[in-house]
Structure 1
Amino acid sequence: MREFLQRTLVWLIVILFIGLAFWAFSGPIEGLIAAGVALLAWLGFHLYHIALLLRWLEQPTAERVPDGFGAWHTVFMTLYRTMRSQMQSKRKLTNVLERFINAGEAMPDGVVVLDENDRIEWINPMAMEHLNLDRKHDVGNQILNLIRQPSFHAYMKNASFSQPLVLQLTQPRELVISVQLVPFDSTRKLLLSRDITSLERVQTVHRDFVANVSHELRTPLTVVGGFLETLSDMEEVDQATLSHFLPMMMEQSRRMQSLVEDLLTLSRLENSPKAVMAEKVNMQDMLDTLMVEAEGLSQGRHHVRLEKGCNQWLWGSAQELHSAFGNLVSNAVRYTPEGGDIVLSWKAEGERLCFSVKDSGIGIPREHIPRLTERFYRVDRGRSRGNGGTGLGLAIVKHVVARHNARLDIRSEPDKGSTFSVIFQRERSAEPEAQPENQA
């Protein structure tokens, strides 16, 4: 700017000297005319550059800055540098804004930006999923008109947002989300949402687990405690009384022991690494053992048979597989009426191997099948507890199956029976080893 003023002052002095020169040599009129012509030329020069400037200001870009002469060259170069600097700053700000937007888009939590009137300014995809919002239609609308739960309205009107609010949503699907409002920028707010459905489910399972364990232990402890109290009140205890009470106390003790053992087994399966494939499991011996156990549990009340369709062994943990298969067999015996059929089978299905237990028992209604592997889940609690089960057997089966990269298939019809199948992938198949002659 200083250079422009200096040049302008120089030109004015030059015009003045031209007028004075003509005045001195040709007279005052000629001097004034000469000065006026020079001044008009100088003004025309500036008007031309002003016209160039006005034309450029209609579409100001750094690439279209006009060329100038004299002081105007300095002005236009200054404009060019200023435009380039502003464009670079704009690009930097745009890049920073894009990175923030991309970060917001990629966040695993939902983010909604609200203005001072609680109108939506921006939503990220996770917030759209959590709160069933649509960026195209809902931006600019008040959040209270889109989320109508009374608890949310009360939360938004509250002056304190230090604690999150838990919402139970059913649309577009069942969700449990935690939302929290975070004021920022003096007038705006961030509404943050997080899907805590899995956490709530875990907490529910934990509460149910504690309640179920307490319930399962309470009955045998009450029975044993009652027997002990009765015996302690008796001055003399004869052998007949002991023979009556002790077997029932031992039965309740075995029930508690079985429950504790199953809980320990579940804990070990959940907290140890997946079953390794280093151990070859002799399925022939395993099937023979399971048959002996099934006949022992049945005590001649059922028709138990074994169908062997292949001689393949398995890579895995013999202890874990025996626990899982044994639970399937004992369930079949417990829930099959006297005179029913129980079939154990080991066969190849294409490239897969399948162990299954089929019975002609009471069957299971379809709606209960998806939940059978939950801890302590029982279709008929009274009948299940009366049959001596802990409610943990199929939960153990589920974990063993998962640790062997296998799949549990359950098919059942009420009053017709059930088939529980454990299907192994080809990589678990092992070639049988030659047996000594005395074991052949």
Structure 2
Amino acid sequence: MNQSWHIAVLKRLVLLLGGALAIGLLTEQITLSLLIACTIYLAWTLRNVFRLISWLDSAAESADILEPPSGHGLWGELFDGMYRLMRKQERARSRLKAVINRFQESTTALREAVVFTNGQGQIEWWNPAAEHILGLRNPHDVGQLITNLIRHPRFACYYEQKSYGEPLILPSPVSSEKKLHYSITLYGPENRLLIVRDNTRIHQLEQMTKDFVANVSHELRTPLTVITGYIETLSDNISLLPAPPIPVMPRALDQMQSQAIRMANTIEDLLILSKLETADSQQDLMPVSIAPLLESVANDARSFSGNRNHNITIDCKTDTKILGNSKELQSAISNIVFNAVKYTPDNGNIRLKWNVELNNGYLSVKDDGIGMEPQHIPRLTERFYRIDRSRHASTGGTGLGLAIVKHVLLRHDATLLVKSRPGRGSSFTCQFPQSRLLREAA
């Protein structure tokens, strides 16, 4: 809208009031003439206001934008300006509607369930796949709380948290035989985008793999025990053989025994992993005192260190306990500490620390060993992952220790934090949530 209407309005007012004043001077009724002029101008203004309101009402009821009323001066500019604004908004609405239509078409084509919830956790929209995967019903479930429709304690805890770095695997609310993969993205003011994928086939394949590994490990244990026993018998009684043993026999028996022990340790770790993956994480829960646990692990680590003379210390100044499985926790911490012993030079320092900060429990193992490059840290808990195969051969590990640590911590709702630099040592910290901490009564 240009500025010429200002001049036109002023001219119209000057002419109207000037004419009224002239007539008033001639008729000696100046006040009455000015009053009549103002009344005429007000009536003209009200007429245009009524025309504007009528036009806006008709436009609101019509699907199309109606042509504006004709007008001059200020009102003409106002009608034309509002008409242009309405056309601009209509074009913007059309573009937005096209985007929404494309979005709905794309989400409708997805096999994954897509659900939008507001800040109160109420369902606002979902795609057709959500009806099949989650059993949502339209329009009955619109506005319902998502936690009322997916009734699983772990989902409720997962939904309420604001950190969704890891997905959640749960049985389907429609069929307990199906396994669903939940992932959530937080956006806007507490709004959430929930994406759910049917993970049943992958879960079945993983379960078949786990069962196969567990069965093979179990079947190998007995023959390996027999082989190890005969090797030990031959090693202990090699001098009693009827013919003089060949020179390489003692060394060959030692290597056979060493490799048999290594294989037995690998099988034992595989069986432990299998048990951790299949057993109920809520079984055998009890308050676990951290101080005695750390003392027991430290004593075992000192024995494992032997004449390498590592300085293993404990820093535990709080009596907070953990609700968990004592054997599993000891196994996890022992794996971390024994790794520290393996990769810390003779006479090195290893520190075990337990403290509570910001309602979370932190159990850390810090050493001044050889450390590692940062790119290896994300893969440390993978089965049989090797940073350096020559390093693995020299330490005699199975490559499963940190995988066991990961599964134990998952069963205790805990996370593993790793920091390391080559030549500067490593720090492994187990972070336990407030729900797992038990404080002694004062």
TM-score by length of 2: 0.47
